[in-house]
Amino acid sequence: MPHLHEDKIKFLEEMANQIRQDVIAMVSHARSGHIAGPLGMADIFAALYFHILRHDPKHPEWSERDRLILSNGHICPVRYAAMARAGYFPVEELKTLRTFGSRLQGHPHRTILPGVETTSGPLGSGLSQAVGMAIVAKMDAKKINIYCLMSDGEQECGQTWEAAMLAGKLKLDNLTALIDRNNIQIDGMTEDIMPLEPLRQKYEAFGWHVLDINGHNFEEIANAYETAQAIYEKPVLIIAHTIPGKGVDFMEFEYPWHSKTFKPEEAKESLAQLRTLQGKIKSEHE
């Protein structure tokens, strides 16, 4: 993994903001889709696609690529935006989100969009898929990293814990999972719906090495993934504390924005706020 210098941090901050603008435009145009989670995960996706992942947008089936599993498939607008900006497909195609015949459906579809490793939708299955890929990589003696992204709400699914238990038993040190710890789900706050804490101690009890980070700090994101590569005989979990709706003041920490239809004036105000923030990012680094 290359060194994260100041110029790269500036680039990633600007890219994450652009991805957020893309997400707003996509979901607003489609009049459907999830919004709070994608905005909160934009920094993670910018770091993955433009700094951490070993991948080739021109050759998405490259056998030596890292595998990125998106378990919480409903936040796919942020993945589509990051992939388009990375060169997997034209940015203009983002406008087709959730339309008939589009490659960009409401949940990722593996067979129609190159660069997507799994079809996701039912929450709780992604970690099992990632564990399977990590096992196969070990059997084939491939030096590749398996990355899995999960929501905090899907930690309520029993299958997640079966996968976590197996990963710990098999000491899958080629597996790094990340939980988007934004504390919301569709019906409210996670700790009101079904308390998840203590998350760290639960995964540690299953044999995982656990890291807590600020999911909006690029140095912490990069350092966590770099640390994960140095951990021996343990899978790694990164608990990324994020702000749902990040960047738009009337959305931040408001759980109804997990999935809510935009009004035209709300979309316009959201983009205005993000464009103002883009200007601040540029001026701070000058």
Distance, CA of 34 to CA of 72 (rounded, Å): 11
Domain of residue 144, residue span: 6-284
Distance, CA of 177 to CA of 131 (rounded, Å): 10
pLDDT in tens, 240-278: 999 999 999 999 999 888 888 888 899 999 999 999 988
The verdict on residue 199 lying in a domain is yes
Distances in whole angstroms, Cα of residue 149 to Cα of each of 5, 8, 107, 123, 199: 25, 23, 14, 11, 15
Amino acid 118: pLDDT = 95
Amino acid 286: pLDDT = 65
Using an 8 Å Cβ cutoff, are 255 and 244 in contact?
yes
Q: Tell me the CATH number at 256.
A: 3.40.50.970
What does the pLDDT average to over 217-235?
97
The verdict on residue 244 lying in a domain is yes
Reported confidence tier of residue 58, pLDDT bands at 50, 70, 90: very high
pLDDT at 2 over 90: no
Distance, CA of 240 to CA of 214 (rounded, Å): 6
The verdict on residue 145 lying in a domain is yes
Query: Among residues of the chain, what percentage have pLDDT more than 90?
Result: 86
Query: Among residues of the chain, what percentage have pLDDT more than 70?
Result: 99
pLDDT at 37 over 70: yes
Provide the number of structural domains found in the chain.
1
pLDDT at 184 over 80: yes
Strand ranges (E), the chain: 67-70, 146-151, 175-181, 184-185, 188-189, 209-214, 236-241
Using an 8 Å Cβ cutoff, are 44 and 259 in contact?
no
The verdict on residue 234 lying in a domain is yes
pLDDT in tens, 129-183: 999 999 999 999 999 999 999 999 999 999 999 999 999 999 999 999 999 999 9
Say which residue the tokens 């994450």 belong to: 16
The verdict on residue 1 lying in a domain is no
pLDDT in tens, 95-116: 999 999 999 999 999 999 999 9
Q: Residue 154 corresponds to which tokens in the numbers above?
A: 């899907």
Amino acid 277: pLDDT = 86
Distance, CA of 201 to CA of 211 (rounded, Å): 11
Q: Residue 239 corresponds to which tokens in the numbers above?
A: 């608990």
pLDDT at 1 over 80: no
Reported confidence tier of residue 80, pLDDT bands at 50, 70, 90: very high
End-to-end Cα, the chain, rounded Å: 26
Reported confidence tier of residue 56, pLDDT bands at 50, 70, 90: very high
